Structure 1
Amino acid sequence: MARRLRQPLPGAQPRLRFEMPPEQDEEAPSAPDSESTAKFGDPGPRMSSQHPLYVGFMGTVGVGAALLVYWIGSNTTQLLLWIVTALFIALGLDPVVRWLEGKKVPRPAGILVSVAVLALAVTGFFATLIPTIVQQVTQVVQEAPHWIQDFIDSDFFRTVDSQFGVRDRISQELEKFVNNPEAMSGIFGGVVGFGSTVANGLFGALIVLVLSLYFLSAMPAMKKWGYRLAPRSRRARVEALSEEITGSVGNYVIGQVCVALLNATFAFIVMSIVGVPFALLLAFVVALLAFIPLVGGMIAGVLVTLIALTAGWQTAVVFAICYFAYLQFEAYFISPRIMQKAVAVPGAVAVISVIAGGSVLGVLGALIAIPTAAAIMLLVKEIFIVRQDKH
């Protein structure tokens, strides 16, 4: 019994980590293993890579692998979009986390602070948006019977009804619609579909938030692993290019956030002064649209101007003059100073990139279009053009 107690009690064991193998200082030339040769014998001559059987087999394997990748990509499109969104957010928050690390803040705490601020901003947007929408829909539902009754009592409707029998025709169509089971099931299906869309959106937001946390915490290890995949002779060059690309993307995201916040703040001040309705909600919408480069601010200005027409054409004109003047000031003075450390893309390339990205991936594609174009231009400049200049 005493001998059994001297043994260590079973408990939690240290978890084996999948660590990266250490780098070798020099590579020794591979030599044939004499023991394996003596044990298993000479394997004999290998099939040439030019042999028709080898070429046909490898071609079939390649086509099968391509079809498998296509099938996986086509069936996981939503997941891939979530991953791209989370990676884009992580690259945008990484400069903030590194800045906090420079201020002696531990990286886990910096990650939590950055993601918490982002989550609070998104929550604030929806907390402002949803009650406003509910309030407006409730007002429309309450006022709709009065609007319909006023229209029915108007002289115009009476004249049209006396000539064409509109009232009886509307009653017949409503009776058919109510008694049609397919129409009622269609309404029920639309309500269920809207509910499932909202549930999927909330689930996707949660997945993106969790993936962003993982990507931010594992960003140094991910970069280290990625650099080790490159040949050793080119590893330093790959690391320099990758750091420049990721740094440019991060600076672009941070700069675009600052530009959007300034844009929304100015729009909110002007809307509050001139009396545009729903100023706070529209400020959130302006901030969201301002993330879209080049055209986002213009779309936001046109949208708010149209809504301002409900308060009077004078209100709309004053807001349009002030806001579009600010867009010119932003384009020539604010954006160049904020984006001086971010990507530099020619105007024509930026417009084409935004249109192409928006047509492929929607708003997400328009957001990541300019950083992607900048990364491609950097690779072309540092790799292709340098190689061409050597010949």
Structure 2
Amino acid sequence: MERKPREGLGARKNSWFWKWFLNNQVVTALLIILLVLLILNAFTKVSYLFDPIWQFMAVVALPIVLAGIFYYLLNPAVDYLEKKGLKRIYGIILLFLVVIGLIVWGVVVIVPKIQEQSVSFANNLPDYLDTIDEKAREILSDPIFSQFQTQIESYSDRLMSWLTDFIQNFSKSTISGIGRFVGAVASVVVAIMTFPFILFYLLKDGRKLAPYVVQFLPNNWRKPTLNVITEMNGQVSSYIRGQLTVAFAVALMFILGFSIIGLDYAVTLGIVAGILNLIPYLGSFLAMVPAVFLAIVAGPFMILKVAIVFVIEQTLEGRFISPLVLGSQLAIHPVTILLVLLTSGKLFGLVGVVFGIPVYAAAKVLVTHLFEWYQEVSQYYYKEEEETPPLKEEQ
């Protein structure tokens, strides 16, 4: 004798409540989001429990970041030496010796030059400001600007008042922040002392890290997760190596250009330009501010020569160096890059500006793979079958 299905269950499945709420993927997704938000809210109530973890991360973050940057920079050279028959550990030691030699050369040659130029600029800064003030007064004395003289003087007074307040506040904050500064210097010293050891083991065993982590996942998750990690690693490594290479090229071009035209402090300005070039799109323009300042002091002809150097540098960088080194591997729209820079800079300051793009590139890879997985398991996405052309009738 066959058992009849319970009428209550069948009626429940055909009810509007079942269709629109219990068996609705949108409602299910909203409930999951609500649960996630509730869990995050619960974590905020007990955030003090995680203070030791955050303190530990604050201590180890800097040496790990430094080791990661140098790992991406040196790992291709280590792989190349290994392919040529040199044992990996010997290749790592050889590169360490080369890097130490470059650092010693920089400390002996470059650092004294930068120190000399920085001290000279600080000593001459009052004279530079007086020169710019005289030239500004000459321009404002022209009859063309006479009708705007009152407004300009008002804005000048406001600017000087703002600068005075800023200097006073900066002095107070500097005095009150000496303890924090000493703590930051101590953290940097500890990071510089420890990151070479982390870098050594990363170069030696870094290839085994991803497979080691993936082995703890379920079997059907291992291959997709390893693919995601490999792609994220490729995106970040190509960006870091490319940006550092372009920054070095930019610094070299500015040093040569400013030296040729006879601009003061060419070495310091070029190094500053290379460092600021790590900020995409905005770094080169920020680096031109001190160069233009010195060019105004030197005279109109120097302004023209500085502009020519800037145009040549931008042309070489944009047309040849960046496409050759970076290419289009990240595939990020320039508008997206600007939005990421603004957002990350607002949230995390200078660190966010420098590391916002590689973090976004890695997150983009993860989100892309998650969306592809959702397309496979969801009923809302499906491949449209191509219409087959009708068969011709045989005559």
TM-score range, shorter chain: 0.5 to 0.7
Deviation at 1:339, TM superposition (A): 1.4
State yes or no: 1:384 paired with 2:366: no
Change beyond 3 A, Cα 1:198–1:91: same
**Greater alpha carbon shift after TM alignment, 307-316 vs 285-294:** 307-316
State yes or no: 1:106 paired with 2:81: no
Matching residue of 2:271: 284
Whether the 8 Å contact between 2:117 and 2:268 is mirrored in structure 1 is no
Q: Please give the secondary structure, in 1, of the residue aligned with 2:292.
A: helix
State yes or no: 1:319 paired with 2:301: no
Change beyond 3 A, Cα 1:251–1:233: same
Whether the 8 Å contact between 2:117 and 2:265 is mirrored in structure 1 is no
Superposed counterparts of 1:131-150, under 5 Å: 132-133=114-115, 137=119
| Separation in structure 2 between the aligned mates of residue 122 and residue 353 of structure 1, nearest angstrom | 33
Partner deviation per Cα, 1:316-373 (whole Å, 9 max, x = no partner):
3312232234214422433122213742222222222223333444444333222221
Matching residue of 2:71: 90
| Separation in structure 2 between the aligned mates of residue 282 and residue 126 of structure 1, nearest angstrom | 17
Whether the 8 Å contact between 1:227 and 1:239 is mirrored in structure 2 is yes
Q: Please give the secondary structure, in 2, of the residue aligned with 1:340.
A: coil
Superposed counterparts of 1:234-273, under 5 Å: 234-273=221-260
| Separation in structure 2 between the aligned mates of residue 190 and residue 374 of structure 1, nearest angstrom | 35
Deviation at 1:298, TM superposition (A): 1.9
Change beyond 3 A, Cα 1:113–1:75: same
| Separation in structure 2 between the aligned mates of residue 323 and residue 201 of structure 1, nearest angstrom | 34
Deviation at 1:219, TM superposition (A): 0.7
Whether the 8 Å contact between 2:344 and 2:352 is mirrored in structure 1 is yes
Partner deviation per Cα, 1:239-271 (whole Å, 9 max, x = no partner):
122112112211222211221122122111111
The number of residues matched between the two structures is 296
Unaligned runs of 5+ in 1: 1-58, 145-185
| Separation in structure 2 between the aligned mates of residue 385 and residue 143 of structure 1, nearest angstrom | 58
Q: Which runs of 4+ in 1 moved over 6 A?
A: 138-144, 186-196
Matching residue of 1:69: 50
| Separation in structure 2 between the aligned mates of residue 87 and residue 303 of structure 1, nearest angstrom | 32
Matching residue of 2:285: 298
| Separation in structure 1 between the aligned mates of residue 291 and residue 312 of structure 2, nearest angstrom | 15
Whether the 8 Å contact between 1:289 and 1:299 is mirrored in structure 2 is yes
Change beyond 3 A, Cα 1:386–1:75: closer
Deviation at 1:75, TM superposition (A): 6.2
Q: Please give the secondary structure, in 2, of the residue aligned with 1:331.
A: helix
| Separation in structure 1 between the aligned mates of residue 349 and residue 92 of structure 2, nearest angstrom | 28
**Greater alpha carbon shift after TM alignment, 375-384 vs 206-215:** 206-215
| Separation in structure 2 between the aligned mates of residue 138 and residue 321 of structure 1, nearest angstrom | 25
Amino acid aligned to 2:62: L
Whether the 8 Å contact between 2:269 and 2:290 is mirrored in structure 1 is no
Deviation at 1:142, TM superposition (A): 11
Whether the 8 Å contact between 1:100 and 1:110 is mirrored in structure 2 is yes
Q: Please give the secondary structure, in 1, of the residue aligned with 2:327.
A: helix
Amino acid aligned to 2:58: T
| Separation in structure 2 between the aligned mates of residue 261 and residue 246 of structure 1, nearest angstrom | 23
Deviation at 1:125, TM superposition (A): 5.0
Change beyond 3 A, Cα 1:131–1:197: farther
The alignment's C-alpha RMSD in Å is 3.9
Superposed counterparts of 1:1-391, under 5 Å: 63=43, 67-74=48-55, 76-121=57-102, 127=108, 128-130=110-112, 132-133=114-115, 137=119, 198=185, 200-340=187-327, 342-390=329-377, 391=379
| Separation in structure 1 between the aligned mates of residue 121 and residue 344 of structure 2, nearest angstrom | 38
| Separation in structure 2 between the aligned mates of residue 131 and residue 268 of structure 1, nearest angstrom | 13
Change beyond 3 A, Cα 1:218–1:319: same
Amino acid aligned to 1:133: Q
Change beyond 3 A, Cα 1:65–1:296: same
**Greater alpha carbon shift after TM alignment, 192-201 vs 92-101:** 192-201
Q: Please give the secondary structure, in 1, of the residue aligned with 2:306.
A: helix
**Greater alpha carbon shift after TM alignment, 290-299 vs 134-143:** 134-143
Change beyond 3 A, Cα 1:379–1:190: closer
| Separation in structure 2 between the aligned mates of residue 247 and residue 305 of structure 1, nearest angstrom | 38
TM normalised by structure 1 equals: 0.63
Q: Please give the secondary structure, in 2, of the residue aligned with 1:222.
A: helix
Amino acid aligned to 2:69: F
Deviation at 1:123, TM superposition (A): 5.3
| Separation in structure 2 between the aligned mates of residue 136 and residue 323 of structure 1, nearest angstrom | 22
Whether the 8 Å contact between 2:114 and 2:267 is mirrored in structure 1 is no
Whether the 8 Å contact between 1:277 and 1:311 is mirrored in structure 2 is no
| Separation in structure 1 between the aligned mates of residue 292 and residue 354 of structure 2, nearest angstrom | 24
TM normalised by structure 2 equals: 0.62
Change beyond 3 A, Cα 1:221–1:75: closer
| Separation in structure 1 between the aligned mates of residue 232 and residue 116 of structure 2, nearest angstrom | 43
Q: Please give the secondary structure, in 1, of the residue aligned with 2:193.
A: helix
Q: Please give the secondary structure, in 2, of the residue aligned with 1:276.
A: coil
Whether the 8 Å contact between 2:258 and 2:309 is mirrored in structure 1 is no
| Separation in structure 2 between the aligned mates of residue 334 and residue 313 of structure 1, nearest angstrom | 30
